[in-house]
Amino acid sequence: MGVGARSLLAACSRGIAACSGLLVLLAACSGLPVLLAACSGGKPKVEDARALPHPTPPPADAAARTVDATIPPGKGDVSIRVEWHDVPLAQRAPTPCGPAVAPTTTWGIPDAVVTLARTPAATGSATTSAPSDARVTLDRCLRPRVQVAGDTLTIASAILQPTSLALDARPVLLPIAGHEVKAALTDGRHELIAGDSHAWVVRDPNAAVTDATGVAVVRDVPSGVYPVTAWLPAANLSAKGEVTVMPGALAEVTLTLKP
């Protein structure tokens, strides 16, 4: 090793003992590995974690208090989920018109009717958008299976020959495909039966039907506390609960059906 390299190595050795830093291995100085010390010239800085700023965690009900500017003032939305855990296999058995109950993998229940009932604590009334007139089509099966209706029910046939069905146990004669029959609806629940196929129509402005995931969303509900009910026509099961609606927020409630 040359005199210059030995001098540099000695200087670096003294520097390593005298200061703190990061040692870096370099290939230099006559092809020999030389250790260099990057000295900071001072003591390492240690920060006290207790003195560091910490973000304030959101409140537990932050999701419910999040304001949606698209919701009218003084109103909120309500998401209602209906569940039925461990639906019996008999209810899930396939039929020509589909199973009576088709739960999701997390037991969400489609085709359940949910209703918000007004209470004195609520400011205003809980109403969904005005339901349109309902329409049911018969083609081996009645479809849709469950719906909310207005004043009138239209029954259409997709069968080539004349046929009939029952509406609330009253016979309804249907002409050939392409023709329709209209029936006036009273408030409440109505059942249609055609062979082994069933359908239900509910005339209630405060009602909605759960979708394929088992959820129904009611929009623009005046703030207040509401009783909530769920009814599954295919199994004639019901559940009750309560939800608090806050202005500009989405309230969520889950109702669990039990035999």
Q: What CATH number does residue 239 fall under?
A: 2.60.40.420
The pLDDT value recorded for residue 72 is: 80
Same domain, 32 and 104: no
Same domain, 78 and 19: no
Give the mean model confidence (pLDDT) for residues 77-89.
97
Per-residue pLDDT tens for 91-132? 999 999 999 999 999 999 999 999 998 654 444 445 455 568
Confidence bin at 170 (pLDDT 50/70/90): very high
Of 214, 173, 207, 215, the C-alpha closest to 190 is 207
Q: Please enumerate in sequence order all residues whose Cβ is within 8 A of that of 151, keeping only pairs 6 or more positions apart, or say none.
A: 133, 184, 185, 203
Does the global pTM surpass 0.75?
no
Decide: 200 and 145 in contact? Cβ < 8 Å.
yes
Same domain, 20 and 113: no
Per-residue pLDDT tens for 209-220? 999 999 999 999
The pLDDT value recorded for residue 176 is: 84
Q: Does residue 166 have a pLDDT over 70?
A: yes
Q: 16: how many CB neighbours lie within 10 A of its CB?
A: 15
Same domain, 127 and 9: no
Per-residue pLDDT tens for 19-49? 444 433 334 444 444 444 444 445 555 555 4
Q: The dihedral of CA 172, 173, 177, 182: what is its sign?
A: negative
118, burial (CB in 10 Å: exposed 0-12, middle 13-18, buried 19+): middle
Same domain, 14 and 130: no
* Domain contains 52: no
Same domain, 130 and 12: no
Same domain, 189 and 126: yes
The pLDDT value recorded for residue 246 is: 94
Q: Does residue 230 have a pLDDT over 50?
A: yes
Q: Does residue 87 have a pLDDT over 80?
A: yes
Side-by-side strand order, sheet with 215-222: 215-222, 75-83, 250-256
Same domain, 176 and 98: yes
The pLDDT value recorded for residue 64 is: 45
The pLDDT value recorded for residue 118 is: 64
The pLDDT value recorded for residue 24 is: 39
The pLDDT value recorded for residue 30 is: 46
Same domain, 205 and 149: yes
Confidence bin at 223 (pLDDT 50/70/90): very high
End-to-end CA gap in the chain: 91
* Domain contains 56: no
Same domain, 251 and 137: yes
* Domain contains 94: yes
Domain with 29, as residue range(s), is 3-39
Same domain, 20 and 124: no
Of 204, 206, 187, the C-alpha closest to 119 is 206
* Domain contains 81: yes
Same domain, 163 and 230: yes
